[in-house]
Amino acid sequence: MAEYGTGRVVVSYSQDSIVEDADGMLHRCTARRSVGKPYCGDMVRFSVQAGGKAIEEILPRRNLLARPNYRNELRPFAANVDLVVITVAVKPPFETMLIDRYLVLAEQLEIEPLIWLNKLDLAGGERDAELARLDVYRRLGYRVLAGSVRSGEGLDALEACFKGKTGILVGQSGVGKSSLIQRLIPNIELRIGALSEASGLGRHTTTETTLYHLPGGGDLIDSPGIRTLRLGHLSPAQIAHGFIELRPFQGQCRFADCRHLAEPDCAVRAAVERGEVEPARLQSFHTLLQEETADRP
């Protein structure tokens, strides 16, 4: 007679997955071929039999994040994510265009974004100017936090945002993502040791996409190498959807397929002229549209 359990995939290797049950027990499970591939963050039902533990069912996903592999094919890596922390830093300096790109992705996936400006300790006299660059996002209603992994400023507020959620950090290399993870998960080495033991595969490495628990509540999925999460093929309408301030103008331009460039009677450019839409945001919108159309075969 088989026993059954439910849990969450905290790491998924090519063959097996490690599933954590509600009591925090780790189970190394093989997925039955019929259930498909489980990903980090998946909720699953598994069976325990004399022959081993098997994932019998992957419960319905809220979402599935993907990124391109070395052959530029989109590959899923994390499921059931509900917070995307878009990490930028004072140094290396950030381009708002990158933030806009991640916001389109978050809006498309319907995952709450949060913008974290790191390394505020390096801002010196530019502190207010750096913070002001993010005002546009505050005005749009996005959560914006700033601080420093080095000085500790702002980290409590950031950590509190993870409560009851599964978050993921995205951002360019060098902005402080790894440092932040070390700060948010102080016992990370212990956890890695426990995962290594559960996998029986020797040392678990941080190159595997892994779900960690934050001491104050909430989870963080760490996935190395999520650089620019590619947008995949999005239609102009989908990109427009990612610029939330453009949504009210849907259908307001003279031409239904208006790209808000030089078309007559463009409601979006009129809004820019009235100061209701930030010109830099419209510029980002055009850049993303261009990239998408250039991508198409």
Ligand X SMILES: Nc1nc2c(ncn2[C@@H]2O[C@H](COP(=O)(O)OP(=O)(O)O)[C@@H](O)[C@H]2O)c(=O)[nH]1
**Measured from the CB of residue 208, what is the shortest distance to ligand X in angstroms?**
16
Instruction: Choose the one of Zn ion, ligand X, Mg ion, none that binds residue 122, judging by a C-beta under 5 to 8 angstroms depending on kind.
Output: ligand X
Cα–chain-centroid distance for residue 38?
18
How far apart, in whole angstroms, are the C-alpha atoms of residue 64 and residue 26?
Answer: 23
Binding to Mg ion by CB under 5 A, coded x per residue (else -) over 178-217, reads x---------------------------------------
How far apart, in whole angstroms, are the C-alpha atoms of residue 54 and residue 15?
Answer: 11
Token representation of residue 195? 């995962």
**Measured from the CB of residue 254, what is the shortest distance to Zn ion in angstroms?**
8
**6 vs 178 by CB, closer to ligand X:** 178
What residues are paired with 43 via a beta bridge?
8
Q: What is the 8-class DSSP label of residue 171? A: -
**53 vs 177 by CB, closer to ligand X:** 177
Q: What is the 8-class DSSP label of residue 157? A: H
Which stretch, 102-110, 130-138, 162-170, 177-185, contacts Mg ion (CB under 5 A)?
Answer: 177-185
**Measured from the CB of residue 122, what is the shortest distance to ligand X in angstroms?**
5
Asked if 211 and 40 count as a contact pair (C-beta separation under 8 A), the reply is yes
How far apart, in whole angstroms, are the C-alpha atoms of residue 280 and residue 209?
Answer: 34
What residues are paired with 49 via a beta bridge?
52
Q: Please report, as ranges, the residues that interact with ligand X according to CB under 6 A.
A: 118-119, 121-122, 148-150, 173-179
**86 vs 266 by CB, closer to Zn ion:** 266
**149 vs 234 by CB, closer to ligand X:** 149
Beta strands in 103-184 (DSSP E): 112-118, 143-146, 166-170
How far apart, in whole angstroms, are the C-alpha atoms of residue 267 and residue 119?
Answer: 39
**Measured from the CB of residue 135, what is the shortest distance to Zn ion in angstroms?**
25
Cis bond upstream, residue 186 (ω within 30): no
Q: What is the 8-class DSSP label of residue 120? A: G
**120 vs 258 by CB, closer to Zn ion:** 258
**173 vs 187 by CB, closer to ligand X:** 173
What residue is closest to Mg ion based on CB? 178
**8 vs 177 by CB, closer to Mg ion:** 177
Asked if 26 and 16 count as a contact pair (C-beta separation under 8 A), the reply is no
| Binding residues for Zn ion restricted to 229-268, rule: CB under 5 A | 253, 258, 260, 266, 268
Instruction: Choose the one of Mg ion, ligand X, Zn ion, none that binds residue 258, judging by a C-beta under 5 to 8 angstroms depending on kind.
Output: Zn ion
**Measured from the CB of residue 55, what is the shortest distance to ligand X in angstroms?**
31
Q: What is the 8-class DSSP label of residue 24? A: S
Residues that bind Zn ion (CB under 5 A): 253, 258, 260, 266, 268
The residues binding Mg ion (CB under 5 A) are: 177-178
